[in-house]
Amino acid sequence: MSRYRGPRVKIIRRLGVLPGLSNKTLKSKSNYIDRSTSNKKVSQYRIRLEEKQKLRFHYGLTERQLLKYVRIARKAKGSTGQVLLQLLEMRLDNTIFRLGMAPTIPGARQLVNHGHISMNNNIIDIPSYNCQPGDIITIRNKLESRSMITKNINLFQKLKTPSHLTFNLTELQGSVNQMINREWVNLKINELLVVEYYSRQV
């Protein structure tokens, strides 16, 4: 299954706010599906499916990519759900988004793909690159790269930078201080339901 490229507001109406997918907000809460007022009984499968879809659309993953991360998380020590979120949050495209360099994760992925981002003085063009504590993320010393990211920062840096990251606005440089903790994830998600959804596939 390929990466979603359709209308983003349609997804937000169905699943709720997904800051990584779109910075648009709906004008009225009436646009959201309110299960509590619905006469139809919602199945447990549907609840798990929608939590999985939240994760997939927020981080901009294909089904195959998400399944791969779930398998890695299952083999790691600790809570599978929390390890899964940690793996997704430490991706380079998400880290750039959380630093405020791009308005969305797809926007951050485009910056990486087009070679605007340098990691530890090496150009990285792999959005799924796994960031580690001590990594330094900089903008290539090109006028086009720096002007584009400065514009993004001025327009879209509304979210507070999480505590595991530091951003130097003067030098346009970000650094990874430590691995992210669960409470710093800016997505309202029940990761245990995602793990349950994939329990028969891994």
The contacts of residue 188 (CB under 8 Å, 6+ apart) are 16, 17
Judgement on whether residues 50 and 74 belong to the same structural domain of the protein: yes
Q: Give the contacts of 35 (CB within 8 A, at least 6 positions apart).
A: 42
**Is 2 part of a structural domain of the chain?**
no
Is 1 a member of any domain? no
23 dihedral zone (left: phi>0; alpha: psi -120 to 50; beta): alpha
Q: Is there a single domain that holds both residue 156 and residue 136?
A: yes
Residue 37, pLDDT score: 41
Query: Does one domain contain both 54 and 80?
Result: yes
Pair (48, 115) in one structural domain? no
Whether 98 and 175 map to the same domain: the answer is yes
Shared domain check, 144 and 95: yes
Same domain, 70 and 110: no
- The pLDDT of residue 12: 77
- Please tell me whether residues 104 and 120 are part of one structural domain: yes
Together in a domain, 81 and 96 = no
**Torsions phi, psi for 131 (to 5 deg):** -70, 145
Specify the residue for token string 């990211």.
Answer: 149
Do 64 and 133 lie in a common domain? no
| pLDDT score recorded for residue 126 | 93
Pair of tokens at residue 16: 């709720």
Which CATH number goes with the domain that contains 103? 3.10.290.10
Cβ distance 159 to 97 under 8 Å?
no
How many domains does the chain divide into? 2
Beta bridge partners of 79: none
Instruction: Encode the chain (202 residues) as per-residue pLDDT tens digits.
Output: 466 666 667 777 778 778 777 766 655 444 444 444 445 677 889 999 999 999 999 999 999 999 999 999 999 998 999 999 999 999 999 999 999 888 889 989 999 999 899 999 899 999 999 999 999 999 887 777 778 888 877 776 656 788 999 998 888 899 999 999 988 988 889 999 999 998 876 5
CATH code of the domain in which 21 resides: 1.10.1050.10
Q: Which residues, in sequence order, are CB contacts of 173 under 8 Å at separation 6+?
A: 136, 137, 138, 139, 167
Q: Per the domain annotation, does 202 fall within a domain? A: no
Domain identity same for 118 and 71? no
On whether both 81 and 12 belong to a single domain, the answer is yes
Range of the domain at 40: 8-85+187-197
Does residue 123 lie in a domain region? yes
pLDDT score of 130: 94
Does residue 133 lie within any of the structural domains?
yes
Domain annotation covers residue 3: no
